[in-house]
């Protein structure tokens, strides 16, 4: 019995030690977790474009028929009339010299984006937009329309009923329009007739183009790829390009290599930048924006002129007198004497900068002027980009 009790005590002590070890490890992970979450990472596939893997824009001109009197007025749109007559003649209908007067046809531009590596017979969506004075495409059907690329070659053919997301209701004294009824979309409305030849596996190397060029980010991508493959396959050639070389030591194809490395996490870096849109008063500031020690005072000079003319009339039954208009002008000047000067210490963060400007009670357009003045003073450690 004594031996059994000793064994039970030894097992219980070992189990307690194991629990203490597990708790210690979990506590360490909980302590490290917040510090690890500060580094925001992104996958390589989300921050780069691969050379040759690109979309292709297609465009075509066609006719939409079946409109309920909301099409082009042929007298105002001669191209619609010419296209309609040419189409009817191709179908064996002679309309030369005829006076066409229909409102059920509209000339449209058809656009589409052909995804990469699409095969012959695949389908893609198309967008249809009116070219003349048509009021709506509701209920219309697009006739066969060739879609051409930038080289003038036909790569797809579009046809089908047009779906729109808006409408127009017109009455005797009022018109209601929702969204854009002169623009529609045809889901899977185009059939690809010609493929764009491109073999990714045959390339000895491909270039990864950064969506936001940065030297630090480019080097981190190259280091991550080389560390993952244990080979010097990637090299950052500039701030916007990383060259990926196919090596004999890698057993897979180029597609396999891209598939393996596009999931690697990268911490992107960027230049401190302030983006300003003066037309809408929008300001976007990056997290790395810093401000040196600077004093700011914001105040506006407002001059208000109020005209209240009065009419002066003679007394009743007066023998002489005229009715005249006497001007009355009230001019007031507001120099904003309550405006205070605020000091921003050196190296303040974005949050501190926004808080300091908000304490001044300034609006977005005044903040734009203040930021430009801080930049002119050399105290804003960031680029200002005006849209």
155 CB-contact burial (10 Å; exposed 0-12 / middle 13-18 / buried 19+)? buried
> What is the band of 279 on the pLDDT scale with cuts at 50, 70, 90?
confident
Q: Residues with Cβ < 8 Å from 69, sequence gap 6 or more? A: 103, 104
pLDDT at 280: 77
- What Rg, from alpha-carbon coordinates, does the chain have? 36
> What is the band of 360 on the pLDDT scale with cuts at 50, 70, 90?
low
pLDDT at 33: 39
pLDDT at 310: 77
Query: What does pLDDT average to over the chain?
Result: 80
Q: Give the separation between CA 210 and CA 194, rounded to whole angstroms.
A: 30
pLDDT at 30: 36
Average pLDDT for residues 133-144, to the nearest whole number?
93
pLDDT at 1: 45
At 235, give phi and psi (nearest 5°): -145, 130
pLDDT at 114: 94
pLDDT at 336: 55
DSSP strand pairing (341-344 vs 302-307) = unpaired
> What is the band of 383 on the pLDDT scale with cuts at 50, 70, 90?
confident
The pair of three-digit structure tokens given for residue 230, joined into one six-digit string? 């244990």
């Amino acid at each position: 019995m004594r031996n059994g009790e000793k064994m039970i005590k030894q097992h219980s002590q070992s189990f307690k030690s194991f629990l203490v070890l597990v708790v210690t490890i979990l506590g360490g992970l909980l302590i490290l977790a917040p510090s690890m979450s500060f580094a925001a990472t992104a996958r390589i596939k989300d921050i780069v474009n691969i050379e040759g893997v690109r979309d292709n824009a297609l465009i075509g001109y066609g006719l939409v028929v079946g409109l309920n009197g909301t099409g082009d007025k042929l007298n105002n749109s001669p191209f619609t009339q010419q296209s309609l007559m040419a189409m009817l003649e191709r179908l064996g209908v002679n309309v030369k010299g005829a006076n066409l007067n229909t409102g059920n046809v509209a000339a449209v531009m058809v656009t589409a984006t052909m995804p990469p590596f699409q095969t012959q017979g695949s389908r893609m969506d198309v967008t249809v937009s009116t070219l003349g004075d048509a009021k709506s495409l509701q209920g219309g059907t697009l006739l066969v329309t060739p879609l051409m690329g930038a080289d003038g070659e036909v790569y797809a053919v579009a046809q089908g009923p047009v779906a729109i997301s808006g409408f127009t209701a017109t009455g005797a004294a009022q018109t209601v329009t929702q969204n854009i009824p002169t623009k529609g979309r045809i889901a899977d409305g185009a059939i690809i007739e010609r493929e764009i030849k491109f073999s990714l596996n045959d390339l000895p190397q491909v270039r990864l183009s950064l969506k936001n060029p940065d030297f630090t980010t480019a080097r981190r991508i190259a280091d991550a790829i080389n560390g993952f493959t244990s080979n010097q396959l990637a090299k950052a050639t500039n701030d916007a390009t990383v060259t990926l070389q196919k090596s004999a030591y890698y057993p897979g194809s180029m597609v396999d290599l891209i598939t393996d490395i596009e999931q690697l996490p990268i911490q992107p870096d960027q230049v401190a930048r302030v983006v300003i849109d003066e037309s809408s008063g929008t300001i976007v500031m990056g997290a790395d924006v810093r401000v040196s020690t600077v004093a700011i005072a914001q105040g506006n000079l407002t001059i208000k002129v109020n005209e209240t003319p009065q009419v002066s009339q003679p007394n009743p039954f007066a023998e002489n007198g005229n009715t005249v208009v006497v001007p009355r002008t009230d001019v007031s000047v507001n120099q904003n004497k309550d405006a205070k000067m605020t000091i921003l210490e050196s190296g303040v963060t974005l949050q501190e900068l926004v808080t300091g400007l908000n304490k001044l009670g300034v609006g977005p357009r005044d903040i734009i002027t203040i930021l430009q003045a801080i930049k002119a003073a050399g105290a804003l450690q960031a680029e200002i980009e005006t849209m």
